[in-house]
Amino acid sequence: MKKTLLSLAFAAVCAGGLTTAMAGTVTATLEDNTNDGGFFATVTISDLLNATNQNIGLTFVLDIAPPVNTTLTKGDILGVWFDVNSDGEALLPSLSSTGLSALFTNVDPVGTIQQAVFRANSVSNKPFEDKDIKAPEGNFDFAIQVGQRGNGGGFNQTVSFDMMYAGLSTSMFNDQRVAMRVQSIEGATGFNEGSSKLLGEGELPPTTPNNPPTTPDEPPTTPDEPPVPPAENEVPLPSTLLLLGAGLLGMGASFRRRLHKTA
């Protein structure tokens, strides 16, 4: 019975295309790539797990608002581009055939995502219908249009959404390029341009090695002194021999005198 239950559980996981995982986060720090820098963005990608720690998608947060740009008063994120590793590229055809409403959920602001293009190594820096929404350089693996130029879609300094597809993982974005297009920029100190094309690279946080705890060095031990052998019969010193000899001579003389008296 136990074997049957385990087999059913394994089959359910395989059928759903889910894999057990540990949640990770990739962060990309982007900087203006066309106007000598000075304008920034962050893109955070986090693994999205279900109640049984199975990877079901990713959460994206795109941000140009303070404190990313400390004095920014206005700005509008219009598009974001990504490269992925070979594992991610293998999923691109499936992502391309999935409808936007099924693929992108929990979009904030609502209705922000306009279109998405998935083509390994061949998504240009201006893949959208509005050709003015373009990245600093191409080609990329996929791109997402988030918003519209002007005030039609609002001025969005922060955009977040979930990309729901089993098999996606933050590891696919590690050491990969991320680009962004921002317009309607106002109030950014040291940046006088009204628009920016930004570029950066996704990074997983460094891992801490699991080193075993170190044992403090023990103080050096003092070696035990060798045992002292038991004392043997000491050899009498010369002065002792003289005294002993004198005593024996005296005893002999006294004995002879007693013999003469008795004779």
Report d(CA 46, CA 53) in Å as an integer: 13
Among 50-54, 158-162, 255-259, the range scoring the smallest mean pLDDT is 255-259
Lowest model confidence (mean pLDDT) among 60-64, 146-150, 191-195, 196-200: 146-150
Give per-residue pLDDT as tens, 65-124. 999 999 999 999 999 999 999 999 999 999 999 999 999 999 999 999 999 999 999 999
d(C-alpha 97, C-alpha 116), whole Å: 11
d(CA 177, CA 173): 8
What percent of the chain shows pLDDT beyond 70? 69
CA distance 144 to 127: 9
- For the CA atoms of 95, 99, 105, 107, the dihedral, rounded to the nearest 10 degrees, stands at 100
Q: What is the pLDDT averaged over residues 138-164?
A: 90
Contact call for residues 25 and 45 (beta carbons, < 8 A): yes
Report pLDDT for 209.
63
Q: Where are the domains of the chain?
A: 17-203
Q: How far apart are CA 263 and CA 256, in angstroms?
A: 11
Which pLDDT value is given to residue 111?
A: 92
The yes-or-no verdict on residue 11 having pLDDT over 70 is: no
Residues 175, 202 contacting (CB under 8 angstroms): yes
pLDDT greater at residue 71 or residue 260: 71
Query: What is the reported pLDDT for 214?
Result: 63
Separation between Cα atoms, residue 115 and residue 111, nearest integer Å: 11
H or E segment to which residue 124 belongs: none
8 A C-beta contact, residue 23 and residue 52: no
Position 10 pLDDT exceeds 50: no
Q: What number is the average pLDDT over the span 147-172? A: 90
**pLDDT digits 0-9 by tens, 37-49:** 999 999 999 999 9
